[in-house]
Structure 1
Amino acid sequence: MTFQEIKPKVTDITLDTNLSRDEKLLAVCKLLNESIDYYNWVGFYFANHETRTLHLGPYIGAETDHTIIPFGKGICGQVAVSNDNFVVPDVAAQDNYIACSFTVKSEIVVPLFVNGENIGQIDIDSHVINPFTDADERFLEFVNEEIAKLY
């Protein structure tokens, strides 16, 4: 399925009045995981700015021990500080990387902004080296724009 085909499905999920916010987030994770073959782990982390930590929200994929990540640590923690997308073509080449699983080969993290504030991020792991393109970044920015409407 193409990104263009998935976009209206994301919007439909976010507009579903029968689902709670967390159920919507989980449904989006499931949709992305099932629709894009190289999206092997899809999840959301949310920021606690007082403690400068990220907290794992809904996700689909292998269990992770990384339920709380300090700002600045790993790819997610760096995005919490930089407010910029971060694409890692090969996690083995990254110094500040928190390994979730030996099967993860690459990662993309895109911040989630609500009213100009970085409240969290969508995090995607892939079992493939270097699968992410500019199209993935633009698509995930769209996903986060739709998710931001829930806050």
Structure 2
Amino acid sequence: MNSMKWLTEDEQATWRAFLHATTLLEDHLDRQLQRDAAMPHMYYALLSTLSETPGRRMRMTELAECTKITRSRLSHAVARLERNGWLRRENCPSDRRGQVAVLTDAGYEEVVRTAPGHVAAVRAALFDRLTPEQTRRLGEISRIIAEGLHQPEGADLPWLR
């Protein structure tokens, strides 16, 4: 006997709506950042993440885990961001094999320049469409989902608080 618990009709509709909305949102934000800053959303996420860390620096392995990017993809992204002068790599003082990604002053200025347009795109696509109660519930639901999925050991992700 098959013990598989299939999605109900309502669950299937909710799943597909969620998947469709998140795909459209990611595409919308990627197009906005390509247009306004000539960078994909993933690159902005790296710069933004580093802009919020102490010393604007993070070990490459931790940055890859925190942003859910493979190490090879991260290495490629960092190389491009280095060519733009927005990041630099340094050797990790505590581990000779490790490297640290450091947001440069020019990279920080790019985040500051790009952030208002990005925030406006997020606001228009998401928060302007929701009531305060829906926003609160979306945050609660998102945190529950994220907490149920794998997180790096000891990661301090402020958006999960």
TM-score clears 0.5 = no
Q: Comparing both structures, which one devotes a greater share of its residues to helix? A: 2
Q: TM-score, normalised by structure 1?
A: 0.31
Q: Comparing both structures, which one devotes a greater share of its residues to strand? A: 1
Q: TM-score, normalised by structure 2?
A: 0.29
Structure (1 or 2) with the larger CA radius of gyration:
2
